[in-house]
Amino acid sequence: MFEITPHLDPKHQTPLYIQLYKYILNEIEADRIPQGTKLPSIRKLAAHLELGKNTVDAAYQQLAAEGYIESKPGSGYYVADLDRQLLTVPKHGACTINIPELKKPLPNHIRYDFRHGNIDTDNFPFADWKKISNQVLFEKDIFSYGDRQGEPELRLEIAKYLYESRGVSCSPEQIIIGGGIQQLISLLCFIIGVKDKGIAVENPGYDGARAVFLHHGFQLKSIGIDQCGLKIAELEQSRARFVYVTPSHQFPMGMIMPIANRMKLLQWANRVDGFIIEDDYDSEFRYRGKPIPALQGIDPNGRVIYLGTFSKALLPSIRVAYMVLPEALINKFNENFQSYEQPVSKILQKTLCLFMRQGYWQKHLRKMRHIYQKKHEVLFKAVHEHMGNNVRMIGENSGLHVIMEVKKNDTEDCLIQKARNAGVRVYPTSKYWMNGRQTLHPQLLLGFAGLSEKDIQSGIKILSGAWF
């Protein structure tokens, strides 16, 4: 049962029952009231529209006489089974909404999808998460509005975790919880303001961050990268005072910024009175070498804005990220953004807080590091076995994806299409370049986290056959 809510004008010269009849007729002809739909009873519709029952009955009788609806004794009126091809187009002036017809998806023959955003969901502790979620629902304040910066208990757990794992030094009061990295970057743009500001970004770099900066009106300044990540010399020549970097696992190329370059970057920020936006992308997963502290943890002057997320280490669908602001910027947030509400579900925040506090987070993280390291090893072994020197692997020291440079004259699009025809999906890197790809051979992005070890082996073998 549904309600019909037409606009009826009692002052119009057309009788009310005719207005109601025409409205229902147009809705049926436009298929907004599908065949077989039960109409509201005369009594209920009359009460809903504050009309006399005789007015509604007259409209229904006219529709029934023309065959648009039919009466079923003891049940009510239903829209008749009509031949839609014979119906007229809705009359001029009727309230219509043009909704494009959804395209039917093509048959999916993709067997192995190397999408970099996918994760291993088979090993997520669903039972533990469900138990904690149920526990949270019995807390008496769970259904009220939450803290605008995020739940204080969750911010405390995040602060402790960041200090222990990344060397980030902050108080819970410096942390803001958000619905993903892009949402937090957007909030940050409001905080720092846009007027006359340029921002330096890595090239190639994360297109999702670039899009947010552009939408907020920032002037993007392209800075190249080398084996050490962002080129500090180019940054110094850019005259920018803000820079967005991914030092722990440069996206998409995967290199790790060494400590010497991190110190130079911090010196630059202090010298120009600027800020570094540190997106600690994929920092949880490192396969070779000793971990390097986050930029924020070695910053003595409050020049680093730290960003992190639970999307890769936990689940992308929970949409929880966090931002650590220097004291000057958190004060500005508190002064100017008092009316902003927290976008992340309080229920979800409380669940995540208990998940961390009760030790499930660290346990899950240790398990996933082991699983992803094995998948990483399987990937490189399969590439060496089936492709040999036909490809070059880039960014192999950390993270959940790698870059595969294919030593062929084929274009990026051609390689992707050949892979797709063979049932394997790989992804371009050209979209991450600001001024066109600047490499001799095409480079493709392969994420391995969402595939099993067996599927990784099979997918690489099929790719080799498709390309070579």
pLDDT in tens, 222-258: 999 999 999 999 999 999 999 999 999 899 998 999 9
pLDDT at 442: 92
- 16-86 — its CATH code? 1.10.10.10
* CA-wise closest residue to 254 among 313, 315, 202: 202
Q: Could you tell me the fold of the domain covering 126-358?
A: Aspartate Aminotransferase; domain 2 (3.40.640)
Displacement of CA 26 from its chain's centroid (Å): 39
Q: Which residues contact 315 (CB under 8 A, 6 or more apart)?
A: 119, 121, 124
Local confidence band at 90 (pLDDT 50, 70, 90 cut-offs): very low
pLDDT in tens, 22-59: 999 988 888 888 888 999 999 999 888 889 999 999 99
Written as six digits, the tokens of 193 are 């303001």
Local confidence band at 108 (pLDDT 50, 70, 90 cut-offs): low
CA neighbours closer than 13 Å in the CB half-sphere of residue 309: 22
Is the pLDDT at 94 greater than 50? The verdict is no
Local confidence band at 358 (pLDDT 50, 70, 90 cut-offs): very high
User: Contact 329/191 with Cβ under 8 angstroms?
Assistant: yes
Please report, for residues 2, 103, 294, the alpha-carbon distance to residue 34 in angstroms, rounded to integers and kept in the order given: 12, 20, 58
Is the pLDDT at 87 greater than 60? The verdict is no
- 112-119+363-467 — its CATH code? 3.90.1150.10
Same fold, 16-86 and 112-119+363-467: no
**Read out DSSP for 272-290?**
TT-EEEEE-TTTT-B-SS-
User: Contact 149/278 with Cβ under 8 angstroms?
Assistant: no
Angle separating helix axes 16-29 and 53-65, nearest 10 degrees: 40
Class of residue 264 by CB neighbours under 10 A (exposed 0-12, middle 13-18, buried 19+): middle
Written as six digits, the tokens of 13 are 């010269």
Q: Please tell me the pTM assigned to this model.
A: 0.78
Break the chain into its structural domains and give their ranges. 16-86, 112-119+363-467, 126-358
Q: In what order do the strands lie in the sheet with 391-394?
A: 391-394, 401-406, 443-447, 427-428
* CA-wise closest residue to 39 among 85, 72, 88, 7: 72
Helix/strand/coil percentages in the chain, nearest 5: 40, 15, 45
